[in-house]
């Protein structure tokens, strides 16, 4: 006993909160289904109760053994355990890496794929610690052209164009060029 | 059968345009499977509208070929980057990636090439010789209770592999099952857990979630290592496994073919569960279980043989019963429907030419995995030489496009990155990403078949368990869970944090 750590408490809290929120939400769709006895809530509620039960099992295991791995576990990825933060800067770097793609996803609807992508590629490479600007710009150009060639020209995939000017206009211009290119053949 | 096969071969290779489609499918499936961030599903989603311009045989054949070669291609990224190209390649990463870290990538990829080809060719041969009797057997013996029982058994196996403890393995699978309940319930169509977002009424799409959990979270894990100065580039090696090494695993190959084919033949199950079961059985029968997950060749062999063995088998319920076994086979149904055809028993009588062109194409596609796979493997291994700061944006971009294309919703890109962030934190805490994904994939199938089974037996458990296959599978699942639970109370082996 006494091996419980702060991350373990956070973990247990996380599962209990998830189970609680979802269980409460089941009351919003708790309607009977005439042809099915267990209704729309039966299956999810069983899953939520199991989550609660297993979360307590997990907590009990952590109390007994801390964060040690169980014997004979197979396929356990343990490479992430090597990571230990030694400075606030390292936290910032990881936070930056996690937030950039999310901002990119948010920007897709207003700005569109064609304008947001080069900026995103530059930011990701920068976040990864790359500081050689010629390398960053060259690689960005290479990846961008490759993606446009593959998905726009070869596969004709519909990609988001954005809905704010001037980004939308740039997307429209690129698509017009593509149509003219198609007409050549 | 031989006459039909030869006729199918003649039709396939008699028309240059059909040959071109076949080659495109083989190369496209391998490439999209082997490029981290996209998968055969991305290619299939893009190509689906274009199949309207092809003949029905060409359209279905193209998708069948992509299915065979894409299932193999996904093993490459699983082994080299710990990013399974498709969920069916997830167990391959358990041992494949540790092999890469040990400088044995060549051996792992070589084994994947050979075993994918063996599994796929054998499966294609059985499919050609026994589609009708197997379909009849499946109709007579397999119903919703059996499918639910197999899902239960498969989830029990999945929870026992991956994850730092059995509790974390279960929590991973349960999280996947919970995510699968988002959207309409399969019986009454009532909206569940949409939290006011109308786009969530259709549920969480598989493709963005899978890309997020597998590809994006792995990029984040590597990025974190880079941020704290612990990043190590994987080691490059081009040593193939020797014949002696592969021959030593002949029993594992045979077992995985049987397991893979059985899982594949069941409607709705597909290659993903086959790969997990193949891997799980390899662990169960191994004398040295402790080596699994640390870079054991048998892990790669079992998983890759089983998933490709399921590709041929998955065509049986699709063609004979009209029931798809996974995302890609579901798209094949769409190809049939575009040409005013319905897959099912009648297709064997109305369109035998189509059936045998598809069978012949699948056979040759699996053979080509061996030849093209061995040729391309040494080149593909040099992907490891590309600096990750260049590869990372490429993977994220391809994954974004892959997530967006399937439904054309920017929300899916958001879902993918959210899944990536959740996956990143869960991996750090020792949870099993493949467990989550399998729960997500099988959740809806499990619920639907449980509901149908219960309605079928009028909620009488006695009748439910009077079905032998169902009972055997449920007992096997319960025993697997009981064994894992027993393990949860045994002493710990190693400290990981």
How far is the C-alpha of B306 from the C-alpha of B273, rounded, in Å?
Answer: 9
Question: What is the DSSP code (8-state) at residue A74?
Answer: B
Decide if A179 is inside a domain: yes
Which of A35, A78, A140 has its CB closest to that of B455?
A35
Provide the shortest C-alpha distance from residue A171 to chain B (in Å): 16
How far is the C-alpha of B463 from the C-alpha of B470, rounded, in Å?
Answer: 11
* Interface check A106 vs B, CB under 8 A: yes
Answer yes or no: do B174 and A47 touch at CB < 8 A.
Answer: yes
The model's pLDDT over A83-136, given as tens digits with 9 standing for 90+, comes to: 677 777 778 888 888 888 889 988 988 998 999 999 999 998 888 888 888 989
Whether A93 and A164 map to the same domain: the answer is yes
Better-scored residue on pLDDT, B161 or B258: B258
Comparing alpha-carbon positions, the chain A residue that sits nearest to B95 is A75
Answer yes or no: do B187 and A40 touch at CB < 8 A.
Answer: yes
Report chain A residues whose CB lies below 8 A from the CB of B423. none
Comparing alpha-carbon positions, the chain A residue that sits nearest to B497 is A81
To which H or E segment does residue A111 belong? helix A88-111
CA proximity to B344, closest of B329, B333, B357: B333
Return the number of CB contacts < 8 Å for A and B.
Answer: 260
The crossing angle, in degrees rounded to 10, of helices B297-316 and B90-101 is: 150
Whether A125 and A168 map to the same domain: the answer is yes
CA proximity to B434, closest of B117, B179, B92, B136: B92
Say which residues have a Cβ less than 8 Å from residue B248's Cβ, sequence separation at least 6.
none
How far is the C-alpha of A114 from the C-alpha of B459, rounded, in Å?
Answer: 55
Instruction: Indicate the pLDDT class of residue B33, thresholds 50, 70 and 90.
Output: confident
Answer yes or no: do B493 and A70 touch at CB < 8 A.
Answer: yes
Say which residues have a Cβ less than 8 Å from residue B41's Cβ, sequence separation at least 6.
B70, B86, B207, B327, B328, B402, B406
To the nearest whole percent, how much of chain B has pLDDT over 70? Answer: 93
pLDDT in the model for residue A3: 62
Better-scored residue on pLDDT, B337 or B21: B21
The model's pLDDT over B288-299, given as tens digits with 9 standing for 90+, comes to: 777 787 888 888
The model's pLDDT over B418-463, given as tens digits with 9 standing for 90+, comes to: 999 999 998 888 888 888 888 888 888 889 889 999 998 888 888 8
Greatest pairwise CA separation for chain B in angstroms:
64
- The residue behind tokens 């990463």 is B93
Decide if A95 is inside a domain: yes
As given in the structure block, the two tokens for residue B295 are 């870079």
Pair B309, B366: CB distance under 8 Å: no
Over residues B173-195, mean pLDDT: 90
Answer yes or no: do A105 and B394 touch at CB < 8 A.
Answer: no
Whether A65 and A153 map to the same domain: the answer is no
Answer yes or no: do B94 and A74 touch at CB < 8 A.
Answer: yes
Better-scored residue on pLDDT, B35 or B104: B104
Angle B360-B327-A25 from CA coordinates, rounded to 5°: 165
Report chain B residues whose CB lies below 8 A from the CB of A49. none
Whether A110 and A174 map to the same domain: the answer is yes
Looking at the predicted structure, is the pLDDT value of residue B492 above 60?
no
Report chain B residues whose CB lies below 8 A from the CB of A101. 216, 396, 400, 417, 420
- pLDDT in tens for each of the 185 residues of chain A? 556 678 788 889 999 999 999 999 999 988 888 888 888 999 999 999 999 999 998 888 888 877 677 766 666 655 545 567 777 777 888 888 888 888 998 898 899 899 999 999 999 888 888 888 898 999 999 999 988 888 888 777 888 888 888 888 888 888 888 888 878 77
CA proximity to B41, closest of B72, B22, B66: B66
The model's pLDDT over B95-134, given as tens digits with 9 standing for 90+, comes to: 888 888 888 888 888 888 888 888 889 988 888 888 777 7
How many residues appear in chain A? 185
Answer yes or no: do B230 and A82 touch at CB < 8 A.
Answer: yes
* Interface check A2 vs B, CB under 8 A: no
Whether A52 and A108 map to the same domain: the answer is no
Question: What is the DSSP code (8-state) at residue B216?
Answer: I
* Interface check A10 vs B, CB under 8 A: no
> Could you give the number of structural domains in chain A?
2
Provide the shortest C-alpha distance from residue B170 to chain A (in Å): 7
Looking at the predicted structure, is the pLDDT value of residue B4 above 60?
yes
How far is the C-alpha of B307 from the C-alpha of B42, rounded, in Å?
Answer: 19
Q: Which of A42, A69, A96 is the last residue of a domain?
A: A69
Provide the shortest C-alpha distance from residue B9 to chain A (in Å): 28
Torsion angle of the four alpha carbons B260, B265, B266, B270, in this order, in degrees rounded to the nearest 10:
50
Whether A98 and A27 map to the same domain: the answer is no
Decide if A79 is inside a domain: no
How far is the C-alpha of B336 from the C-alpha of B203, rounded, in Å?
Answer: 25
The crossing angle, in degrees rounded to 10, of helices B250-265 and B105-141 is: 40
Comparing alpha-carbon positions, the chain A residue that sits nearest to B216 is A101
Please state, in angstroms and as integers, the Cα–Cα distance from residue B180 to each residue in B194, B201, B315, B441, following that order: 12, 12, 25, 7
Over residues B27-41, mean pLDDT: 79
Please state, in angstroms and as integers, the Cα–Cα distance from residue A137 to each residue in A126, A145, B22, B428, following that order: 11, 12, 38, 33
Pair B220, A97: CB distance under 8 Å: yes
Better-scored residue on pLDDT, B416 or A81: B416
Report chain A residues whose CB lies below 8 A from the CB of B459. 37
Comparing alpha-carbon positions, the chain B residue that sits nearest to A113 is B401
* Interface check A6 vs B, CB under 8 A: no
Instruction: Indicate the pLDDT class of residue B347, thresholds 50, 70 and 90.
Output: confident
pLDDT in the model for residue B333: 80
Comparing alpha-carbon positions, the chain B residue that sits nearest to A24 is B193
How far is the C-alpha of B276 from the C-alpha of B435, rounded, in Å?
Answer: 10
Looking at the predicted structure, is the pLDDT value of residue B343 above 80?
no
The rounded Cα B491 to chain-centroid distance in angstroms is: 34
Answer yes or no: do B190 and A97 touch at CB < 8 A.
Answer: no
How far is the C-alpha of B462 from the C-alpha of B473, rounded, in Å?
Answer: 16
Answer yes or no: do B401 and A147 touch at CB < 8 A.
Answer: yes
Most confident listed range (A145-149, B337-341, B382-386): A145-149
pLDDT in the model for residue B496: 42
Decide if A62 is inside a domain: yes
Over residues B465-494, mean pLDDT: 80
ipTM comes to 0.88
pLDDT in the model for residue B21: 92
Which of A31, A33, A160 has its CB closest to that of B404?
A160
* Interface check A23 vs B, CB under 8 A: no
Most confident listed range (B17-26, B76-85, B150-159, B408-417): B17-26
pTM of this structure? 0.81
As given in the structure block, the two tokens for residue B69 are 């070669």
How far is the C-alpha of B9 from the C-alpha of B353, rounded, in Å?
Answer: 10
- The residue behind tokens 């698509």 is A175
To which H or E segment does residue A171 belong? helix A167-184
B265-276 as b/e, with b when 16 or more CB fall inside 10 Å?
bbbbbbbbbbbb
* Interface check A43 vs B, CB under 8 A: yes
Partner residues linked to B184 by β-bridges? B191
Instruction: Catalogue the E-assigned strands of B31-184.
Output: 183-184
CA proximity to B305, closest of B119, B108, B91: B119
**Structural domain harbouring A138:** 88-184
Pair A47, A22: CB distance under 8 Å: no
pLDDT in the model for residue B174: 94
Pair B59, B47: CB distance under 8 Å: no
Answer yes or no: do B190 and A31 touch at CB < 8 A.
Answer: yes
Whether A164 and A123 map to the same domain: the answer is yes
Decide if A1 is inside a domain: no
Comparing alpha-carbon positions, the chain A residue that sits nearest to B182 is A44
Which of B165, B171, B293 has its CB closest to that of A75?
B293
* Cis peptide preceding A91, ω within 30 of 0: no
Pair B300, B92: CB distance under 8 Å: yes
Decide if A23 is inside a domain: yes
Residues 362-391 of B with CB under 8 A from A: 388-390
As given in the structure block, the two tokens for residue B74 are 């996904």
Q: Residue B184 phi/psi, 5° resolution?
A: -75, 145
Half-sphere exposure of B13 (CA within 13 A, CB side): 9
Residues 144-183 of A with CB under 8 A from B: 147, 151, 155-160
pLDDT in the model for residue B301: 92
Answer yes or no: do B410 and A108 touch at CB < 8 A.
Answer: yes
How far is the C-alpha of B214 from the C-alpha of B273, rounded, in Å?
Answer: 17
Comparing alpha-carbon positions, the chain B residue that sits nearest to A110 is B410
How far is the C-alpha of B227 from the C-alpha of B287, rounded, in Å?
Answer: 40
Which of B46, B101, B167 has its CB closest to that of A155?
B46
How far is the C-alpha of B213 from the C-alpha of A12, rounded, in Å?
Answer: 21
Better-scored residue on pLDDT, B220 or A183: B220
- For an interface test with B, which of A29, A74, A131, A159 has the most B Cβ atoms less than 10 Å from its Cβ? A74
Comparing alpha-carbon positions, the chain A residue that sits nearest to B411 is A105
Q: First and final CA of chain B: distance in angstroms?
A: 58
């Amino acid at each position: 006993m006494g091996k419980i750590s702060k991350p373990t408490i956070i973990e247990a809290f996380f599962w209990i909160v998830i189970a609680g929120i979802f269980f409460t939400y089941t009351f919003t769709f708790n309607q009977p289904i005439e042809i099915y006895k267990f209704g729309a809530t039966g299956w999810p509620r069983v899953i939520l109760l199991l989550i609660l039960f297993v979360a307590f099992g997990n907590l009990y295991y952590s109390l007994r053994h801390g964060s040690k791995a169980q014997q004979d576990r197979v396929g356990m990825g343990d490479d992430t355990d090597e990571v230990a933060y030694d400075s606030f800067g390292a936290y910032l770097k990881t936070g930056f890496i996690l937030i950039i793609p999310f901002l990119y996803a948010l920007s897709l609807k207003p700005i569109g794929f064609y304008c947001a992508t080069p900026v995103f590629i530059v930011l990701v490479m920068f976040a990864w610690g790359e500081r050689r600007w010629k390398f960053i710009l060259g690689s960005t150009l290479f990846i961008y052209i490759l993606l446009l060639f593959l998905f726009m020209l070869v596969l004709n995939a519909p990609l988001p164009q954005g809905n704010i000017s001037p980004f939308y206009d740039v997307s429209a211009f690129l698509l017009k060029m593509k149509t003219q290119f198609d007409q050549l053949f | 059968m031989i006459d039909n096969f030869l006729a199918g071969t003649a039709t396939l290779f008699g028309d240059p345009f059909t040959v071109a489609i076949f080659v495109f499918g083989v190369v496209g499936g391998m490439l999209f499977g082997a490029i981290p961030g996209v998968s055969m599903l991305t290619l299939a989603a893009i190509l689906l509208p274009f199949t309207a311009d092809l003949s029905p045989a060409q359209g279905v054949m193209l998708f069948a070929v992509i299915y065979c070669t894409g299932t193999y291609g996904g093993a490459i990224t699983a082994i080299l980057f710990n990013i399974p190209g498709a969920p069916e390649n997830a167990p391959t990463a358990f041992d494949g990636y540790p092999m890469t870290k040990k400088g044995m990538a060549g051996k792992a990829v070589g084994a994947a090439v050979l075993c994918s080809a063996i599994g796929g060719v054998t499966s294609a041969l059985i499919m050609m010789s026994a589609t009708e009797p197997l379909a009849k057997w499946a109709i007579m013996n397999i119903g919703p209770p059996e499918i639910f029982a197999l899902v239960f058994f498969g989830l029990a196996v999945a929870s026992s592999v991956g994850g730092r403890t059995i509790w974390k393995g279960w929590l991973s699978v349960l999280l996947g099952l919970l995510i699968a309940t988002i959207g309409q319930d399969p019986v009454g169509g009532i909206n569940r857990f949409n939290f006011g977002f109308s786009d969530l009424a259709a549920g969480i799409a598989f493709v963005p979630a899978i890309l997020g959990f597998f590809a994006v979270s792995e990029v984040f894990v590597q990025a974190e290592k880079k941020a704290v100065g612990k990043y190590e580039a994987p080691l490059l090696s081009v040593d193939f496994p020797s014949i002696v090494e592969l021959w030593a695993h002949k029993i594992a190959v045979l077992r995985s073919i049987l397991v893979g084919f059985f899982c594949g033949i069941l409607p709705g199950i597909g290659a993903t569960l086959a790969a997990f079961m193949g891997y799980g059985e390899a662990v169960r029968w191994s004398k040295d279980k402790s080596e699994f997950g640390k870079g054991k060749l048998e892990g790669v062999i079992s998983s890759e043989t089983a998933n490709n063995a399921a590709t041929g088998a998955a065509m049986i319920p699709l063609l004979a019963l009209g029931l798809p076994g996974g995302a890609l086979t579901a798209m094949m149904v769409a190809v049939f429907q575009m040409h005013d055809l319905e897959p099912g028993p009648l297709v064997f009588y109305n369109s035998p030419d189509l059936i045998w062109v598809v069978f012949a194409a699948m056979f040759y596609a699996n053979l080509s995995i061996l030849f093209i796979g061995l040729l391309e493997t040494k080149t593909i291994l040099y992907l490891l030489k590309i600096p990750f700061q260049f590869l990372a944006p490429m993977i994220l971009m391809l994954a974004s496009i892959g997530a967006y294309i399937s439904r054309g919703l920017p929300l899916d890109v958001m879902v993918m990155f959210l899944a990536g962030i959740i996956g990143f934190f869960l991996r750090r805490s020792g949870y099993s990403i493949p467990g989550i994904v399998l729960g997500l994939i099988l959740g809806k199938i499990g619920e639907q078949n449980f509901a149908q089974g219960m309605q079928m037996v009028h909620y009488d458990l006695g009748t439910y368990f009077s079905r032998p296959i169902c009972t055997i599978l449920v007992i096997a699942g319960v025993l697997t869970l009981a064994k894992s639970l027993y393990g949860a109370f045994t002493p710990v082996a190693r400290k990981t944090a």
